[in-house]
Amino acid sequence: MTSQLTDQFNRTINYIRISVTDRCDFRCIYCMAEKMEFLPKTQLLSLEEIDRIASIFISLGVEKIRITGGEPLVRKNIDSLFSSLSKNKGLKELTLTTNASQLKKKALMLKSSGVKRINISLDSLDPLTFKKMTRTGVLEDVLKGIEHAVEVGFEKIKLNTVLMKGINDHELFELIDYAIKHGLDISFIEEMPLGSTDFERKVTAVSNNDVLEKIKDKYSVKSISLSTGGPAKYWQVEGSNTRVGLISPHSHNFCEDCNRVRISCKGELFLCLGQEEKIELMPLLRNHLHDDQPIKDAIINSMKIKPLSHEFNLNQSKPAIVRFMSHTGG
């Protein structure tokens, strides 16, 4: 199906990320404040509304959907959404981003629902550092979840790591070695200035330019042309099945190839993670219960206001975007 979603810069949108909840069982220091106020359930899209939004986007030519949060697997009855999405014939790829805390319980369900690839956030292999970065997470639970997911046999599992100077950046090689040992991919994501946190981002930020130089000093790697629908640039670690990705919103802006939009858990269609342009879909869904056309029209028209790029700047005294990452979805 040819996508009907082309923005003003002639970029085709065929990928959406849908946040199913702003809640999470972790409180990662670069993602949330320690004391978060979560949305009341009345302000969240129902799972049926999320399924409807997904179906509408698929009818407009979207081929890939990533389910995100918060932590999507803590959403009550989330199994039913994956089951329903898996039955949509127009969807070519259904993926998930998770912190792996619930994977021991949910991996088999995900595999049976047609999820072939999952991304797992893992920022440290040291229990104390992991606790410091997640505030509430237990590393052992996460590692057991990852190992169970490997046993279940997903087509590809990728780790996502945010390196922070003076906190976990010394674990670069240990994390890559863990990925190699378990046959996983791993991506390093430059910290994004979303939401106010308890530290100064320009002090803790790690450039992927530096990360790549360190990787090349230790490993034999070659740049490869690989597109997974996202912004990562990949290097193959020779002698292994592991690919190292670099997601670099600061050092290498990737917006010229942007093919995605995001739906927040309250039905906001964000045209860019790093900008505030959005369309409110929840009122349209609830005012047009049996007619998808007004929602389709709003989505198609939203392409006219999709920005050219984000404008992240770590030197700003205030974050570029006030909302937290957990609100928009990863």
Return the pLDDT at 173.
98
Average pLDDT over residues 27-49: 89
pTM: 0.90
Give a yes or no: residue 312 inside a domain: yes
Give a yes or no: residue 9 inside a domain: no
Give a yes or no: residue 285 inside a domain: yes
Put the strands of the sheet holding 93-98 in their side by side order: 221-224, 233-237, 243-247, 185-189, 156-161, 117-121, 93-98, 64-68, 15-19, 260-263, 268-270, 278-280
Give me the number of domains the chain comprises.
Answer: 1
Helices 208-218 and 172-182, packing angle to 10 deg? 60
> What are the distances in angstroms from CA 21 to CA 29, 78, 131, 325?
18, 10, 22, 12
CA atoms within 13 A on the CB side of 305: 12
Query: Are the C-beta atoms of residues 251 and 207 closer than 8 Å to each other?
Result: yes
Return the pLDDT at 317.
46
Give a yes or no: residue 10 inside a domain: no
Average pLDDT over residues 146-152: 97
Q: Which of 186-190, 205-209, 313-317 has the lowest mean pLDDT?
A: 313-317
Report the chain's mean pLDDT, rounded to a whole number: 90
Return the pLDDT at 230.
65
Return the pLDDT at 311.
59
Domain of 210: which CATH number? Answer: 3.20.20.70
Query: Are the C-beta atoms of residues 218 and 233 closer than 8 Å to each other?
Result: no
Which of 230, 221, 114, 232 is closest to 173 using CA atoms? 221
Give a yes or no: residue 97 inside a domain: yes
Average pLDDT over residues 128-139: 97
Average pLDDT over residues 184-204: 74
Give a yes or no: residue 209 inside a domain: yes
pLDDT band at 30 (very low <50, low <70, confident <90, very high): confident
**Look-up of token digits 């590692």:** 143
Give a yes or no: residue 8 inside a domain: no
- Which domain covers residue 78, as residue numbers? 15-328
- Examine the pLDDT at 235 and tell me if it is beyond 70: yes
Tell me the residue type at 106.
K
pLDDT band at 272 (very low <50, low <70, confident <90, very high): confident
Give a yes or no: residue 1 inside a domain: no
Average pLDDT over residues 242-252: 80
d(CA 185, CA 241): 8
Residue 37 vs residue 74, higher pLDDT: 74
Task: Tell me the torsion sign for CA atoms 65, 66, 69, 75.
Answer: positive
